[in-house]
Amino acid sequence: MADTLTRLFLVSGRVQGVYFRAFVRQHALPLGLTGYAKNLADGRVEVLATGSPEAVDTLRGHLHVGPRLSDVRQVEEREAAPTKRSGFEIR
């Protein structure tokens, strides 16, 4: 579908142990996004998001801010292949 965008984000900084994955899910669900947020062994959080370009853009903005206790230092963004998912998981 041409009006659907899938992006993989890698978020660096103090993003584990600060409610970051739940924060992402809390913002992704009302935007109608599907995907997941998971902790990586190197301390980053990986976020896969699929939805309208506007919704992905809004989530991108939230990733740069993060929850109150986080300290986001960098958000890398990559194109990703669309996937058939329902809901937004915390992994």
Active site includes 39? yes
Per-residue pLDDT tens over the stretch 16-73? 999 999 999 999 999 999 999 999 999 999 999 999 999 999 999 999 999 999 999 9
Q: Report how far apart the first and last C-alpha atoms of the chain are (Å, whole number).
A: 26
pLDDT band at 82 (very low <50, low <70, confident <90, very high): confident
What is the model's pLDDT at position 2?
A: 56
Structural domains of the chain in order of their starting residue, each with its CATH number: 5-90 (3.30.70.100)
What is the model's pLDDT at position 85?
A: 80
Among candidate residues 7, 14, 25, 39, the one labeled active-site is: 39
Among candidate residues 7, 21, 25, 44, the one labeled active-site is: 21
Q: Contact, 33 vs 51, CB < 8 A?
A: yes
Q: What is the pTM of this model?
A: 0.94
Name the DSSP letter for residue 19: S
